[in-house]
Structure 1
């Protein structure tokens, strides 16, 4: 029996901890590996993932997302999708918000033009294309990626507005679910981290 669009359920998995995520540095296209703790976080996803049957598994091409997917037990099923790349932060790559605000007091990634990187509208277009791919495929889908692109996916899914992602905090190795309540696209789970309590 074919899936209806409302049967589409998208699971979002943020990659495990890296040195830069731990420090608060903006990590876009720099291919930073997981820390040892990040690998433990990714392994903690495995029991939850093992109880699911995913029809499609997509991962960012960056190693921190791919390794998280592998350690969670879905590496063999995963396909890379360039729309899952993290936001290209341009000149802000590797910098912390607190340091940037020493020279730009009200700076925010959500509202400031990004020189040599991607605008919020550009990332929103990638998110919209990825969501359309998921809706066309239907079923239960797992996405392994990064903090900001996943926040924008959640925002666009629920509000059709990427900037709403500013209000959706997301921890490393967290789990989120996007689905439906009747005909409405909703966030059914956000920033679940209970699986990380004992590592």
Structure 2
């Protein structure tokens, strides 16, 4: 999708999306939205392993979800000194499905998917899209290189809005814990420049 940014691509160079390190629930596949779960020891090691790679870059802004797992990942990755909390970066609110795995949910709701099924007492895809679009607008008004520490489903929705204006495109993207992905431009078009590295 072609779109004209508020600032030209030379002003907004890159957006680095960094998923938090491993938690016990990310390991088990449990949906972790509002539960403020800590990193595992392995998750902390993953976060520390990000530091040398991120140290090779200069970031004009560092944004983090308000959740402890994202904040700790940011700190252990060496960017805590620049961190600004952005409320819109928190994970999807899974409502009644919080703490449950997809197979557990599908036992009572066959074919359920967070991307196209109701989430009772949680956030709808349209609500996630509105949050992601607000972050995209903020990014387009920024300049330089921005690092974002957030969560799997929200970062996937954000990438979908960045490249095609549709959070639902995130269903086709996968993110490992402590992974780095890059959003940017191909000429005037918003593009994914690297994914899940």
Structure 2 counterpart of 1:43: 48
Q: Corresponding residue for 2:3?
A: none
Count of equivalent residues: 190
* TM-score (normalizing by structure 1): 0.94
Q: Report 1:166-181 matches (<5 A).
A: 166-181=171-186
Alignment of 1:89-128 (within 5 A): 89-128=94-133
Indicate the SS of the match to 2:141: helix
1:5 paired residue number: 8
- After superposition, residues 22-41 of structure 1 pair within 5 angstroms as 22-41=27-46
What are structure 2's unaligned runs of at least 5 residues?
A: 1-5
Q: TM-score, normalised by structure 2?
A: 0.95
What do the CA deviations read for 1:126-168 (whole angstroms, capped 9, x no partner)?
Answer: 1111111111111100000000000001111001111010000
Aligned to 1:95, the other structure's residue is in SS state coil
For 1:48-67, list aligned pairs within 5 A: 48-67=53-72
Deviation at 1:5, TM superposition (A): 2.9
Distance in 2 (CA, whole Å) between partners of 1:101 and 1:89 is: 14
Between the aligned partners of 1:136 and 1:160, the Cα distance in structure 2 is 17
Give the gaps of 5 or more residues in structure 1.
193-199
| Alpha-carbon contact 2:33-2:92 (below 8 Å) kept | yes
Kept after mapping to 2: 8 A contact 1:84/1:149? yes
* Contact 1:12-1:176 at 8 Å conserved across structures: yes
Q: SS at 2:9's partner residue?
A: helix
- 1:4 Cα shift? 4.0
Say if 2:160 is the partner of 1:147. Answer: no
The answer for the alignment partner of 2:192 in structure 1 is 187
CA contact (8 A) 2:7 2:140 kept: no
